[in-house]
């Protein structure tokens, strides 16, 4: 059983955990009950009505958060020549080929996103054991395998985030930081929901949005009424 401290217990007492709120209400509650002395991340967790074991029901992609992530995103890029120079100019922290692969094989994983040009994928494929378990393997579906890595670097540093279902059909997506205004969090929330709607597999049957909560890094989850996902002020 997970153990939660006094601040968590106090936060739970300040709202009705059983009630399912509108998105706007839930975001306001998350901001109200936070008592941490650091800028927590605000995240949504969505249970989708899909079976990720079936290839045609895997939900995966990227979404651009209009208000950004509030996080300093560190990017590693596998590229050579002009593409490598452009990625560096765009702000990538790590750019290289065999040299970058050697660093990663040596345990260097001080980055949040990996981008690669298509010709680099045979090299990157050798790093699957290091990158895969951490969700850092580049993939064309998320725009992280691209002939224009500089553009991808700019997008991810500007607020683009990846999402994908886990083996239980859950998707976890950050929508900002506790320091954000509630309006910015609502704007990012609406963008994520719109993207998940767009990504709904044609083969998914029945209710698509099964369960949804919003929470801060160290706080309890606040339930959102899945029938009122469009009831958000942006």
Kindly give the confidence (pLDDT) of every residue in the chain, 234 residues in length, as a single tens digit, with 9 standing for 90 and above: 354 666 666 655 666 677 899 999 999 999 988 777 888 999 999 999 999 889 899 998 999 999 999 989 999 999 999 999 999 999 999 999 999 999 999 999 999 999 999 999 999 999 999 999 998 999 998 899 999 999 999 999 999 999 999 989 999 999 999 999 999 999 999 999 999 999 999 998 899 999 999 999 888 889 999 998 877 666
Strands 170-177 and 41-48: antiparallel
Q: Which of 99, 94, 85 is nearest to 148 (CA)?
A: 85
Instruction: Give the pair of three-digit tokens for residue 222.
Output: 């606040």
For the chain, strand residue ranges (E) read 41-48, 60-64, 75-78, 94-96, 113-116, 160-164, 170-177, 209-216, 222-223
Q: Which of 89, 77, 75, 84 is nearest to 157 (CA)?
A: 75
pTM, two decimal places: 0.82
CATH of domain 75-157: 3.40.50.790
Instruction: Give the pair of three-digit tokens for residue 215.
Output: 């929470």
Q: At what angle do helices 149-157 and 81-89 cross, to 10 degrees?
A: 20
CATH of domain 6-69+160-228: 3.30.190.20
User: In the chain, where does the domain assigned CATH 3.40.50.790 lie?
Assistant: 75-157
Edge-to-edge strand order for the sheet containing 41-48?
A: 170-177, 41-48, 209-216, 222-223
User: In the chain, where does the domain assigned CATH 3.30.190.20 lie?
Assistant: 6-69+160-228
Query: Residue 143 and residue 162: Cα distance in Å, rounded?
Result: 9
């Amino acid at each position: 059983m997970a153990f939660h401290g006094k601040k968590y217990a106090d936060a739970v007492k300040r709202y009705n955990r059983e009630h399912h709120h509108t998105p706007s209400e839930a975001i306001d509650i998350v901001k109200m009950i936070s008592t941490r002395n650091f800028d927590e991340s605000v995240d949504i967790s969505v249970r989708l009505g899909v079976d990720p074991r079936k290839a045609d029901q895997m939900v995966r992609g990227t979404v651009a958060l209009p208000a950004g992530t509030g996080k300093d995103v560190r990017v590693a890029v596998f590229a050579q020549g002009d593409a490598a120079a452009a990625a560096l100019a765009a702000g990538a922290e790590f750019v290289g080929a065999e040299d970058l692969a050697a660093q990663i094989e040596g345990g260097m994983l001080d980055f949040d996103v990996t981008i690669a040009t298509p010709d680099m994928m045979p090299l990157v494929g050798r790093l699957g054991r290091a990158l895969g378990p951490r969700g850092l393997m580049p993939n064309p579906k998320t725009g992280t395998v691209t002939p224009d890595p500089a553009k991808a670097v700019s997008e991810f540093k500007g607020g683009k985030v990846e999402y994908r279902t886990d083996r239980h059909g859950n998707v976890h997506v950050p929508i900002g930081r506790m320091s954000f205004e509630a309006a910015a969090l609502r704007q990012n929330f609406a963008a994520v929901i719109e993207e998940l709607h767009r990504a709904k597999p044609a083969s998914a049957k029945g209710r698509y949005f099964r369960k949804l909560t919003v929470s801060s890094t160290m706080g309890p989850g606040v339930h959102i009424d899945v029938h009122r996902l469009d009831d958000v002020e942006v």
